[in-house]
Amino acid sequence: MTYCVAVKLKAGMVFLSDSRTNAGLDQISTFRKMIVYEKPGDRFMCLLSAGNLSISQSVREILQVEQLPAEDGGDPITIWNAKSMFDAVRVLGAAVRHVYERDGEALKRTGVEFNVSMIFGGQIGGEGMRLFQVYSPGNFIEATPETPFFQIGESKYGKPVLDRVITPDTPLDEAAKCALVSMDSTLKSNLSVGLPLDMAVYEANSLACDRVICIEDNNPYLQMVRRTWGEKLREVFDSIEHPSWNGGATDVPLMVAPQRSAPLKKIASPKEKLI
C-alpha cells in the first residue's frame, strides 16, 4: 500500500511519500513513489503515485516523452515546454490514458483492475504554484484555498492532523512538520506503509528545489517527531477529565438531560431465559 501527501501554501509546497509496496504478507518491497521534474529557473514539478506499481511506473516513463497537440498549431506540448501547470497535468492525464489503451484490456482479462492515482504539483515561470490530484481515467481536480492538500493511498490515519493544522497561511517548515506527523500517524497504524520516506519542500517562486531528502528510520528529526508526538498526545489525553456520570466535582458532566430519548433498553424479567 501507499501513503502520499502534498500541501500547497502561500509560502510554498510540501511533498511527502512512503516507499513500501506489498503484494501479500510475504512480498514486501521498497519502491520510490516520488519523482521530481526540474529545469532550474524555469520550472519545478513533483509527482507522487499510488496504486498498481506497474501502471504508475509506466506512466512515469511515458510522461517524459508524452506530447499533446498545440491548439495554435505550434510545437507539441510536453511537461518540459508546457506554459502552465494546467497544460502539464493535461500531459500527465494523456500519459495515464496512453497506458490504459496499451495495457488496460490485457490487465482486465487477468482480473487486474487498472488502478492508479497521482498527485502532481509545482510551478512554471510566469504563473503561480498549482497542485492537482489525478485519477485512473486521467481526469483531475485542483487544490483550492479551502482544500490546500491532497492525500492518496492510506489517507485516513494522517488526515486529522492536517485538517486541524494546515491552512494556506501555514509557514512552510510548520507544514513540513505537520506532514511528517501525518505520516508517522499512518506508519503507526498501518503496516502496509513503510520507510524510507521521500520529501521535497519547495519555496514559492524559486523554480528550483534544494530540499529533497530521503528519510530513513534512524533520521534524528523523525525519531524526535515520533517520540514527542506520542508523548504529547498522551499528556493531552491524560489532562482531559474522565467521564462523570453523576455530576461530581467536574463542571462538564457527561450525563445531562438529553434532547432526544435515550437508547432503547430492555430489562429481562425473571421469567425470561437469557441466552
Q: Could you say which DSSP state residue 52 is in?
A: -
Q: How many separate domains does the chain show? A: 1
pTM: 0.91
Quick one: average pLDDT of 265-270? 76
Q: What is the mean pLDDT of residues 54-74?
A: 94
Residue 11 is predicted with a pLDDT of 98
Detail the DSSP E strand segments found in the chain: 3-8, 12-17, 20-22, 28-30, 34-39, 43-51, 116-124, 130-134, 140-142, 149-153, 197-203, 212-215
In-domain check, residue 275: no
Domain contains 141: yes
pLDDT of residue 72: 86
Q: Is the pLDDT of residue 233 over 80?
A: yes
> Is 249 domain-assigned?
no
Confidence of residue 244 (pLDDT cuts 50, 70, 90): confident
Enclosing domain of residue 153: 3-228
| Mean pLDDT over the full length of the chain | 92
Q: What is the pLDDT of residue 190?
A: 92
**207 occurs within a structural domain:** yes
User: In CATH, what number is assigned to the domain containing residue 27?
Assistant: 3.60.20.10
23 or 40, which is more confident: 40
State residue 64's pLDDT score: 92
Cα–Cα distance, 255 to 246 (Å, whole number)? 7
The answer to whether position 271 is within a domain reads no
Under DSSP, is residue 62 helix (H, G, I), strand (E, B) or coil? helix
Mean pLDDT of 196-201: 97
Confidence of residue 210 (pLDDT cuts 50, 70, 90): very high
Instruction: Let me know if residue 211 belongs to a domain.
Output: yes
Bigger pLDDT: 274 vs 110: 110
Mean pLDDT, range 45-65, rounded to an integer: 96
| Residue 257 included in any domain | no
Q: Tell me, yes or no, whether 267 lies in a domain.
A: no
Our CA dihedral for 252, 256, 259, 260, rounded to 10 degrees, sits at 120
% of the chain beyond a pLDDT of 70: 93
pLDDT in tens, 68-100: 999 888 999 999 999 999 999 999 999 999 999
Mean pLDDT confidence for 254-265: 73
| pLDDT for residue 250 | 62
